[in-house]
Structure 1
């Protein structure tokens, strides 16, 4: 296998997108990163892996997020890590399905001397053939409009803070309004016409859309609102013809995992995240 580190985002995207598109569920995070670096025209690191002139793997790093290694075969981890390290890349973290993530974390440590530590882990789910919406939840669903942008921006900030999630830009109402008028689907669950929960479905990519930013204010939790809005957004996306509907759930949160499974989401793979630090360095908690 040959590993090539790229500098032209557009050419890289055109080269590797068919590889990622062949399994959009497994590569959901990589496809999101690929779209982002293609739109922005810059990236941390882009690498393709070829065999007999055919793309058999890829790595994309869209800072400040972890580099996505779902497309790096375990058998190519060492070669890829060495090629990327040779251009001076300094990953803070990587993520992907466990076999690929473990192999690359070990290879990166060997290539750079950095110490790898598993910081978190998530289950990747895909909605099965049957979506079961929760019953008896007070309220109703409606798609968000630009008039909801300020509230959604506040909730997205709160969600990111609770989840310890990295943000590329501040969640302003103007930025959220752009999402709403784009192909991104933002939905609200409302009681007496007052929003009480939200969920977002990312713009479809290669027949796949990912549910994220599922949020209910703390004082309103435990009433089924998050489940109801997630189911409603999922139904809206499925009705639009999107084949693969996926989401991530924290492996350490048994409640959310049970809820998603009851709704019809099926486990696909565990995706750990590894962070890297110099030997002897004390990793600061975010």
Structure 2
């Protein structure tokens, strides 16, 4: 009889040695874990903050069945689980004593983990947001297309990109704001920020790209300042970034959209993105495993 065991893993290299093949087997569903761990592998733990990341795997008969990770102060990212596995994960986290401020996973898994944690701790989970994961089908340029052009951000755009990064994180009520200048520097150097600019050269929207890992690239940090929205700039920046991802050789181009924002969901579908699955993010108030 095969035993099923959650294991706490000490660092990103050990985690990828154990779980890398499993994660790469379904790169779309595991996109956040793959890209975040690539950043940790390349730039070190300091890439996501001062606190040490947390990793774990579920093994059955010596094979990885599921995995989780967390870069403090962010929520726990969990791969899809069966209901009973969600319960065993909650018990494991409580036993190892890691803080659990929240959970981010596919909708069923997130709800199951939140419910299991509530049963163990008595803390009431709060649904923070629901997200839809999209995969690019056939890229279509937005119609009508706004005037202007897309280009990669350059060193002269550093201050703007850093400021828009901060505004984006605040707009989505995100945790763990990275150093804005460092964030901008790394992505500008790697040509991973697309800007849409007007005919007179004024940038009006931004879309960033994650590194290619396991054949997938994710469009992220799509941001248009409030006073410039509704003119197609975000769609154009997204299309420009998506075209760059395809040119880089991505087998899958992905993005997440907040389901509470029908405008952005409509924009992404009009440029060729198709739904994959829905995710949910829960805050676990007072959820410290001690």
TM over 0.5: yes
Alignment of 1:20-35 (within 5 A): 20-35=23-38
Aligned counterpart in structure 1 of residue 107 of structure 2, from 75, 98, 104: 98
More deviation in 53-62 or 25-34?
A: 25-34
> What is the aligned partner in structure 2 of residue 283 from structure 1?
none
1:220 aligns with 2:228: yes
Distance 1:91 1:36, change over 3 A: farther
Aligned counterpart in structure 2 of residue 4 of structure 1, from 7, 19, 27: 7
1:148 aligns with 2:157: yes
> What is the aligned partner in structure 2 of residue 164 from structure 1?
173
* 1: CA distance, partners of 2:169 / 2:210: 16
Aligned to 2:180, what secondary structure does the other structure show? coil
TM, length-normalised to structure 1: 0.91
> What is the aligned partner in structure 2 of residue 244 from structure 1?
252
Instruction: Provide, for residues 20-51 of structure 1, a one-character-per-residue CA deviation record: whole Å limited to 9, x for no partner.
Output: 11111111122233234443176443111111
Structure 1 stretches of 4+ moved >4 Å: none
* 1: CA distance, partners of 2:53 / 2:94: 12
> What is the aligned partner in structure 2 of residue 40 from structure 1?
45
Any unmatched runs of 5+ in structure 1? 280-286
> What is the aligned partner in structure 1 of residue 67 from structure 2?
58
Any unmatched runs of 5+ in structure 2? none
TM-fit CA distance, 1:75:
3.2
More deviation in 263-272 or 214-223?
A: 214-223
Distance 1:19 1:71, change over 3 A: farther
Q: Is the 8 A contact 2:72 2:176 kept in 1?
A: no
* 1: CA distance, partners of 2:140 / 2:242: 10
1:16 aligns with 2:54: no
* 1: CA distance, partners of 2:183 / 2:205: 19
Q: Which has the higher contact order (CA 8 A, sep 6+)?
A: 2
Aligned to 1:57, what secondary structure does the other structure show? strand
TM-fit CA distance, 1:177:
1.5
1:193 aligns with 2:201: yes
> What is the aligned partner in structure 1 of residue 215 from structure 2?
207
Distance 1:175 1:118, change over 3 A: closer
Distance 1:265 1:247, change over 3 A: same
TM, length-normalised to structure 2: 0.89
TM-fit CA distance, 1:73:
3.7
> What is the aligned partner in structure 1 of residue 84 from structure 2?
75
TM-fit CA distance, 1:13:
2.1
TM-fit CA distance, 1:110:
2.0
TM-fit CA distance, 1:111:
2.6
* Aligned length, in residue pairs: 276
Q: Is the 8 A contact 1:97 1:272 kept in 2?
A: yes
1:232 aligns with 2:240: yes
* 2: CA distance, partners of 1:141 / 1:153: 18
* 2: CA distance, partners of 1:124 / 1:25: 8
* 1: CA distance, partners of 2:97 / 2:39: 22
Q: Is the 8 A contact 2:169 2:177 kept in 1?
A: no
